[in-house]
Every structure is written in C-alpha cells, then in structure tokens.
Amino acid sequence: MVCAQVQTPLVASGKTHEIAEHVYVIPDQRINVIPNIGIIVGRDGVLVVDTGMGPRNAETVLDEVKKITSKRIAYLTITHFHPEHGMGAQAFPASTTIIYPTAQKTELLEKGAAMSNQFSGVSTGIADLLKPVKIRMPNVTFSEEAEVDLGDFPVRLLHWGSSHTRGDEFVFLPKQSSIWRGRGGEPIFPHHG
C-alpha cells in the first residue's frame, strides 16, 4: 500500500504581493488546506481575511502585515469556519474586532471541534498546528451584510446563504471592483482590457 505524504500546510512568508490598490494576498501556493489570505490596508487600519490553520500560521500572517504597514489590524473576517480559514484567530491582538456571518458562528459552535479533530487525523503536521488552538468567537456578527469602513474606502461583508458551508462569506471592495469569495478564499477581479 502506498500512502501519500501530506505536506504540513504552512502559510508562506515573503510571498505577499499587492493585487489591487490597498489589497494584498498571501498566496496559497496551490497547497491544499492553505487559503489565499487577504490583507486590506485603509487609512484608519487593516482588515485581514482569514488566518491560516492555527496560531503558528496566524503569526506568519501578522508578520506579513507588519512588512506592509504599521497600521493596526482593526478587523479580522473569516470566509468560512473550516480550520485553515479561521483557527488562528487567537493570535490576533485582543483589540482586533472579529466579524463574520451569524450562520458561520453557529456552524463553528456546532461543528468546529469535530472539524478540527477530523483535520488533525490527516497528518501529524496538521495535528501539531491545531493542537494549541483556542477557538476565538467573533465580536460582531451579521445576518446578510455588514460594512467595514477603513477610513478611505468601504469593505462590504456579504452572506448569501449556504454554499460550501452554511456561513460562507464574500468580501466585496466596491472601490477596487473586487470580491473575495468564501470557498478557497480566492480573490476575484474583473479583467481589464
């Protein structure tokens, strides 16, 4: 019997790049269970989209933010409740407001521990990333839509019902004409040209 080696899903350091005005991505490098992580920098603060799996990955995200800006991380949002998207929230400053759909909070409460255990069973690397996790709940939830004002432009957080999970979220940046979608945490931009 041949068993495939599962790579430990570590968020990349030093790969962050700007993909639109004020919008940066830490790319997933096409590695399973690593999302594309968003960093949106406004005049009054930063919104981070997803954390990576566990506090170790979230620390990498925080370090990448520091390379871009000295502004405070005002907000964190999670595109859906799976461990690779939000189970690093505990590493973010206590002053960071965590905001996401109410349906996502409910799903995290109902299935978060079981999902973490399921992921931990895949490899020892994943289990090691999830072992120190303390689930951090959102400070703010919303039913269908919320708006975050970063000072010089708005970011709309949208929940349109169940898809990949019950609490999938889209992050829409009207000024940049872009959207970050919940499944895979992928940024989508219109083609120019």
Domain that holds residue 158: 17-188
Number of domains making up the chain: 1
Range scoring the smallest mean pLDDT among 3-12, 28-37, 66-75, 171-180? 3-12
Contact 168, 85 (CB under 8 A): no
- 114: nearest Cα among 83, 148, 91: 83
Domain at 38, CATH number: 3.60.15.30
The pLDDT of residue 192 is 37
**Residue 5 counted as domain residue:** no
**Residue 10 counted as domain residue:** no
Percent above pLDDT 90 for the chain: 77
Confidence of residue 57 (pLDDT cuts 50, 70, 90): very high
| Distance in angstroms (rounded) separating the CA atoms of residues 146 and 141 | 8
pLDDT, mean over the chain: 90
**Residue 108 counted as domain residue:** yes
**Residue 29 counted as domain residue:** yes
Task: Check residue 4 and report its DSSP letter.
Answer: P
Q: Is the pLDDT of residue 6 over 80?
A: no
**Residue 174 counted as domain residue:** yes
